[in-house]
Amino acid sequence: MTVLVPTMGALHKGHQVLIKRARTLDKDVIVSIFVNPLQFENKEDLEKYPSNPKRDIEIATIAGATEIWFPEYEELYPEGFTMRSAGSLGNKYEGESRPGHFDGVVTVINRLFAVAKPSKAIFGEKDFQQLAIIKAMKSKVEIIAVPTVREFDGLAMSSRNIRLSEAGRSSALVIHRALAAAKLAPTVEIAQEILKTTLATESGFDQDYATIIDENTFEPASESTMQRRAIVAGWVEGVRLIDNMPMVGR
């Protein structure tokens, strides 16, 4: 059986962790590299997405990939293909800020699964809403989640980080500071306040949303919520960054 690690390229150490996890499940690991235009609501963001195929091949191979797949657009999207809907969850948070984004995600994942026919697929928790939506597809492919991989200073690893200047990267660290501080709060209300106020201390961070949710329903968390998670999104130097962290529940 085969394990698939879907990516959009610009691979980094976080991707290597996903690939290494895949290798613990099966000896056959496919890493797909495809910048999916259907999930970019912003054409400029698509054009700026980093690409370095040669380096991607090196990184994936070192991590243990047995096949590196660069599908062509026509291979995934033949004439007459049908767009998939991400459902109601696809319209919240990231979906509200990026209309159609998650429809593009479930469409490409559905097609990758159909063509590669893996038994399992690996996804990181950094894109937590995406992970939940893919699980909700109820595919025959088993979905394996891997915790967010972070830099030494707490910044969540992302292909977008290379677009940040030194000052911008410094500003981005406020996200992890806010998440870590909120996790120590004794109540949901206090955690929410700490999350917001900490993010507000960094002028270089333009907040989109920051809230504590029930990670099973994505509804706002309450004191009775068993599994709480803080989710954050915003911009630094025009680069959209997202992150999340499980909070202490009941």
- Are the beta carbons of 14 and 123 closer than 8 angstroms? no
Per the annotation, the verdict on 101 as an active-site residue is no
Looking at 117-187, list the stretches that DSSP marks H as alpha helix, in order from N- to C-terminal side.
128-135, 166-183
Reading across the β-sheet that carries 28-33, which strands appear in turn? 67-69, 28-33, 2-7, 120-124, 142-146
What's at 54, amino acid-wise?
K
For residues 217 and 210, give the distance between their C-alpha atoms in angstroms, rounded to a whole number.
16
Pairing of strands 28-33, 228-236: unpaired
The pLDDT value given to residue 76: 97
What residues pair up with 28 in beta bridges, in sequence order? 2
DSSP element (H, E) containing 15: helix 13-25
pLDDT of residue 250: 52
Burial class (CB in 10 A: 0-12, 13-18, 19+), 71: middle
Calpha distance 29→5 (Å, rounded):
7
Predicted confidence at residue 38, as pLDDT, reads 95
In angstroms, what CA-CA distances link 45 with 14, 41, 49, 148, 166?
Answer: 21, 8, 6, 23, 20
* Weakly modelled stretches of the chain, pLDDT under 70: 249-250
Annotated catalytic residue within 12, 15, 101, 176: 15
Which residue spans within 202-248 are E strands per DSSP?
206-214, 228-236, 239-246
Q: Give me the domains of the chain, ranges plus CATH numbers.
A: 2-146 (3.40.50.620), 159-244 (3.30.1300.10)
Give the per-residue pLDDT at 158.
96
Spatial CB neighbours of 203, under 8 Å, sequence gap ≥ 6: 171
Residue 249's pLDDT is: 60
Residue 144 · residue 121 · CB < 8 Å: yes
d(CA 157, CA 229): 19
Taking phi over 0 as left and psi of -120 to 50 as alpha, with beta for the rest, 218 belongs to left
User: In angstroms, rounded to a whole number, what is the distance separating the alpha carbons of residues 120 and 118?
Assistant: 5
**Residue 213 backbone phi and psi in degrees, to 5:** -125, 165
